[in-house]
Amino acid sequence: MPSNPHESVGAGRIAASEPTDWRPLLACCLATFVLLAYTTIVTVSAATIADDLGAGFALSQWIIDVYTLGLAALVLAMGTLGDRLGHRRLFLTGLVAFCAASVACAVATSGGMLAVARAAQGIGGAAIFATAVPLLTQCYTGRTRGIAFAVWGAVAGAGSTVGTIAGGAVTQFVSWRWLFLGALPVCALAVAIGSISLARERPRRVRVDVLGTTLVTTAMGGTTYAVINGGENGWMSPGTIGGGVVALASICSFVPSQRRAVHPALPPSLFATREFTAVLLVGFAYYFAAFAALPVLARWLQTEQAMSPLRAALVLTIQLVAFILVSLMVSARLHDAPRSWVLGGGTLLTGLACLTGAALLAWPDWTTVIAMLAVTGIGAGIVSPVLPAVAAASVPPARAGTAAAAANAARQLGLTIGIALCGALSQTAHVSGSTTGGVVTALIACGAVALCGGAISAVLLRPVEAVTA
């Protein structure tokens, strides 16, 4: 690092000057830890929060989903904004915004107020998520970059683990409001370290694609609304159809808008690379399969299996422990392995585990889901640390930030749509009197998505390896 940490330098000089300075990695890991902890922190506590605030099924689903929706919808725009303002500036701004939104969550007096505050958390989280990978790419090269991404991926899994456990423990022994106040010290530490270790960048004249970002947001929001409303009010209800129409119109408008835009949010030229397309498919599919059914499983463990929130959280943590162990033990070696095996194979493994778990629930006891949770954690642990690096390497260097943001958006979109769909399927089954049937249906949906995404991505990645060999 330069002697003055605020000196304006280029990305290459940052990487070459002091690649063994791990403070930037620490700042990125702390920030990523907290933002991913809040994707799972209400997984177990959602039912308690909904009861306390008088929220119905749809609103309780939004309290879970609106956060990941914000991450998925805005991470692309935040990536472009980071290119324009500087990744350091946007990273620190996102952390401050996340802190403020967390306080708003803690003092919420209604389900609607909490949902709005969670959306604000998602906006801050998107700023952090979009800038963490470019910052790591700038600060590290060669082998140290591989180590940095491996550590970052493991910390991301740890964030999800702590979020799940904290959600159960704090809800059971204290109050769910303390869940959100816990973000403050972690964010403050990340801001302090990032402020002194991340070098300033020169602002660039990059325009944000406002129309494209708006269309992406309405497409994702319309889809999520249609799925959640379908579970509560029926798949042919006016709200469900209306949400679907909004989503379809936005998607149809997005494609031509990107072709006309001078600075598109998602340049169509990126899809000329099969590897990039495969990365998006994998990101969507493995996140959907591995994590979307967790809220449904948490509810099933607490209702059908009569578990306390903490005990249910500990059962779900089996998956996340497997994820962390695999990320730490083998992720560094996986960067040199064939990408079709790592990305496609890891996603297929996750899907097969979901389908096996659905079959084992013919004997509806909580012990039957242990193997499924462990294997989905292994599959996710194989894919997750490699995905950002493959995304950044699949496009020209000038587009690396956009590609990494797109990969993160695909993951969060898979989680958002997956949570909504699994919740809707579970609610439909619950109304008909079959709670276990809802979990089975949700796991089958997860498995089908992962098998399709993994198989297609493996085919797309094989020619890339043949050409580059």
Kindly report, residue by residue over 91-108, the tens digit of the pLDDT. 999 999 999 999 999 999
Q: How many helices (H) and strands (E) does the chain have?
A: 20, 0
pTM for this prediction:
0.80
In total, the chain counts a number of residues equal to 469
pLDDT in tens, 301-321: 988 888 888 898 899 889 888
Give pLDDT, residue 433. Answer: 61
Give pLDDT, residue 58. Answer: 79
222 with 73: CB under 8 angstroms? no
Q: What secondary structure letter does DSSP report for 337?
A: S
- Chain centroid to Cα 153, Å, comes to 12
- Chain centroid to Cα 158, Å, comes to 13
pLDDT in tens, 183-230: 999 999 999 999 998 877 776 666 778 888 888 888 888 888 888 888
Measured on CA atoms in the order 325, 327, 333, 338, is the torsion positive or negative?
positive
pLDDT in tens, 425-464: 887 766 566 678 888 999 999 999 999 999 999 888 875 4
The residue whose two tokens read 């605030």 is 53
Give pLDDT, residue 105. Answer: 94
Percent of residues, the chain, with pLDDT higher than 70: 91
Crossing angle of helices 370-383 and 309-334, in 10° steps, is: 40
105 with 132: CB under 8 angstroms? no
Closest CA relative to residue 424, chosen from 248, 293, 312: 293
Exposure of 434 in the CB half-sphere (CA atoms within 13 A): 12
Closest CA relative to residue 323, chosen from 157, 123, 448: 157
DSSP H stretches of helix in 361-434: 370-383, 387-393, 400-431
Q: Taking residues 291-296, what's their average pLDDT?
A: 89
DSSP H stretches of helix in 107-141: 111-139
* pLDDT: which is higher, 258 or 154: 258
- Sorting pLDDT into bands at 50, 70 and 90, what band is 1? very low
Torsion of CA 308, 311, 315, 316, to 10 degrees: 70
Task: Tell me the pLDDT of the chain averaged across its residues.
Answer: 83
Q: Is the pLDDT of residue 284 over 50?
A: yes
